[in-house]
Amino acid sequence: MDNCGGARRQLRRRRTRGLAASLRAAAAGLGAVLVVAGCTTLVEGRGLSILNDPFRVGGLPATNGPSGPRPDGPAPSGTVINTNNGPIDKLSLLSVNDIQDYWKGVYSEALKGTFRPVDKLVSYDSNDPSSPMVCHNETYQLVNAFFTSRCNIIAWDRGVFMPVAEKYFGEISVTGVLAHEFGHALQVMAKLVTRNDATIVREQQADCFAGVYLYWVAAGKSPRFTLSTADGLDHVLAGIITTRDPVMDADAENDDEHGSALDRVSAFQMGFLSGTEACAAINKAEIERRRGDLPTGLRVDSSGNQETGEVAINEDTLKTLMELMGKVFSPKNPPTLSYQATGCRDAKPSPPASYCPASNTIVVDLAALATMGKVAGTDEQSLPQGDDTALSIVMSRYALAAQHERGLAMQSPWTALRTACLTGVAHRKMAEPIDLPSGQQLILTAGDLDEAVSGLLTNHMVASDADGISVPAGFTRIAAFRAGVGGDMEACYSRYAL
């Protein structure tokens, strides 16, 4: 969030070697809240209602449960070069078996060309100085997984990357990583990308293809794996946001833009909801249409440094935010802001920010909100956290006030999703300066959307009703927010009308 002169922080750096620490940091916030309980595209063959149902994900029931290898499933088969025959390599091989079997069976339905299995699977230990070269690439300290078309190889780090992903995001996260890598192989088979295509196009397609495959798993059709659509899928989405693979192909221009959290999750959701054809249709123009007029790059100040526009979470900032929300929602009777907790006869408290319909008051625990808005992961890759993690929660409480003025229910799952959608609309409107009587401004910057999307996984507040109750699946919470970012308020009210 840019306040046109407020405090700044350095651009969050993404370092491959720091990935292990970042995964731990990301999981620390995620794991504590997964016990609590949108997409904007019409889906061929799957009714529009599946996008709006609080208790379903892509037409599947939103449930917690086992995610990972089936105990009665087939054993892994095939060869892994340089393997230590440990559990990570066995899980990775089993994953590739399943992914390749799926795509072999459906490839010709929507993709051109001929299906070709990946020739070689290579395991390495990034901690080992003698770790082998893999298709002309050094693997010592390469904490990641990758596909290279030059040698038709998928390789993974069994020493750090995969074990940390498995420990903090579950076994299914390893499968998700490899589904993404196989997505790059599909691009080559179907000749979907050329040397001139940007990295973000390659990455969005791969995220999308991973979503296609994991829908099949979540639907219970995989003989080897299961995936629950609530906590299991939440962990997969957190992994998508947290990790990004290196560009290893010599015939690819490495601009290293993998996209924002919203970009990556929306691409995955396209595959999960719409299938292979949606993935094949992703190109730079489609990505730009999906982004709309949101900021795609950070602002540059007079020194030439990129900015994330972080602002302090204090009374002055919240005063400006309330003024801004008044412009965005234009209520006849604007809610008031209070820092004193008082009883509310028609809603339960939902700290750090609550809305009381009876008094039309937003009550904020400023200390707790400021803690939630502290920047995390400034030097390492992690789930983004910062000012908009906190401010988006206050924005969502204002969205509840707007709904209350319309006489809508304050406690229901549809209220929760409508709130997320309206908060998404507010984010879209804040992409450009809005003139305020005070002369102050809060302008959305690119990192703010990442913080809001991550917050929908690590806490449920932006997608919660007046009692602070949300819906089971982070997938659904993000889809509702995304619907707002790509739409308008009336669309939110009609989409979540109950």
Among candidate residues 291, 307, 331, the one where a domain is terminated: 291
Residue for token digits 């970042």? Answer: 22
358 occurs within a structural domain: yes
DSSP-derived secondary structure letter, 75: P
Residue 475 three-state SS: helix
Strand order of the β-sheet with 120-124 is 120-124, 153-157, 145-148
Q: Which whole number is the average pLDDT over 58-62?
A: 95
Q: Do 281 and 322 reside in the same domain of the chain?
A: no
* 285-323: b (≥16 Cβ within 10 Å) or e: eebeebbeebbbebbeeeeeebbbbbbebeeebbebbbb
Task: Give the start-end residues of each E strand in 267-360.
Answer: 336-338, 353-356
406 occurs within a structural domain: yes
What is the structure's pLDDT at 13?
Answer: 26
32 occurs within a structural domain: no
Q: Do 284 and 390 reside in the same domain of the chain?
A: no
Dihedrals φ, ψ of 68, to 5°? 140, -165
Bridge partners of residue 363, in order along the sequence = 338, 354
Q: Do 125 and 86 reside in the same domain of the chain?
A: yes
CA distance 263 to 259: 5
pLDDT tier for residue 448 given thresholds of 50, 70 and 90? confident
Q: Is the pLDDT of residue 18 over 70?
A: no
353 occurs within a structural domain: yes
3 occurs within a structural domain: no
Closest CA to 102 of 201, 207, 211, 187: 211
- 392-430 confidence digits (pLDDT tens): 999 999 999 999 999 999 999 999 999 999 999 999 999
What is the structure's pLDDT at 282?
Answer: 97
Q: Do 400 and 491 reside in the same domain of the chain?
A: yes
Q: Do 282 and 319 reside in the same domain of the chain?
A: no
What is the structure's pLDDT at 245?
Answer: 52
Q: Do 281 and 162 reside in the same domain of the chain?
A: yes
The strand pair at 145-148 and 353-356 is best described as unpaired
- Report yes or no: 483 and 495 within 8 Å, Cβ to Cβ: yes
Q: List the alpha helices (DSSP H) in 199-314.
A: 199-218, 231-242, 261-274, 276-280, 284-291
What is the structure's pLDDT at 431?
Answer: 85
Among candidate residues 291, 326, 343, the one where a domain is terminated: 291
50 occurs within a structural domain: no
458 occurs within a structural domain: yes
Q: Which two tokens stand for residue 482?
A: 């995304």
402 occurs within a structural domain: yes
Which residues form the domain of 254?
63-291
Which of 35-39, 409-413, 481-485: highest mean pLDDT? 409-413
Q: Do 356 and 453 reside in the same domain of the chain?
A: yes
What is the structure's pLDDT at 382?
Answer: 64
Length of the chain: 498
Q: Is the pLDDT of residue 6 over 50?
A: no
Q: Do 409 and 488 reside in the same domain of the chain?
A: yes
Q: Do 320 and 243 reside in the same domain of the chain?
A: no
Q: Is the pLDDT of residue 363 over 90?
A: yes
Distance, first Cα to last Cα, the chain: 33
Among candidate residues 291, 326, 347, the one where a domain is terminated: 291
Q: Is the pLDDT of residue 49 over 60?
A: no
- 195-252 confidence digits (pLDDT tens): 889 999 999 999 999 999 999 999 999 999 999 999 999 999 998 888 755 555 545 5
Q: Do 341 and 466 reside in the same domain of the chain?
A: yes
- Report yes or no: 147 and 203 within 8 Å, Cβ to Cβ: no
The rounded radius of gyration (Å) of the Cα atoms in the chain is: 22
pTM assigned to the model: 0.86
Total domain count, the chain: 2
Q: Is the pLDDT of residue 172 over 90?
A: yes
Closest CA to 34 of 206, 240, 234: 234
What is the structure's pLDDT at 410?
Answer: 99
pLDDT tier for residue 498 given thresholds of 50, 70 and 90? confident
Q: Which whole number is the average pLDDT over 309-320?
A: 93
Q: Which two tokens stand for residue 81?
A: 């070069």
* 406-423: b (≥16 Cβ within 10 Å) or e: eebebebbbbbbbbbbbb
Q: Do 376 and 248 reside in the same domain of the chain?
A: no
Q: Is the pLDDT of residue 146 over 50?
A: yes
Q: Is the pLDDT of residue 140 over 50?
A: yes
Q: Do 287 and 320 reside in the same domain of the chain?
A: no
Closest CA to 27 of 382, 295, 307, 381: 382
Q: Is the pLDDT of residue 64 over 50?
A: yes
Q: Which whole number is the average pLDDT over 105-134?
A: 97
What is the structure's pLDDT at 292?
Answer: 79
Q: Is the pLDDT of residue 40 over 60?
A: no
Stronger pLDDT, 368 or 300, i.e. the higher one: 368
pLDDT tier for residue 305 given thresholds of 50, 70 and 90? very low
Q: Is the pLDDT of residue 257 over 90?
A: no
- Report yes or no: 42 and 50 within 8 Å, Cβ to Cβ: no
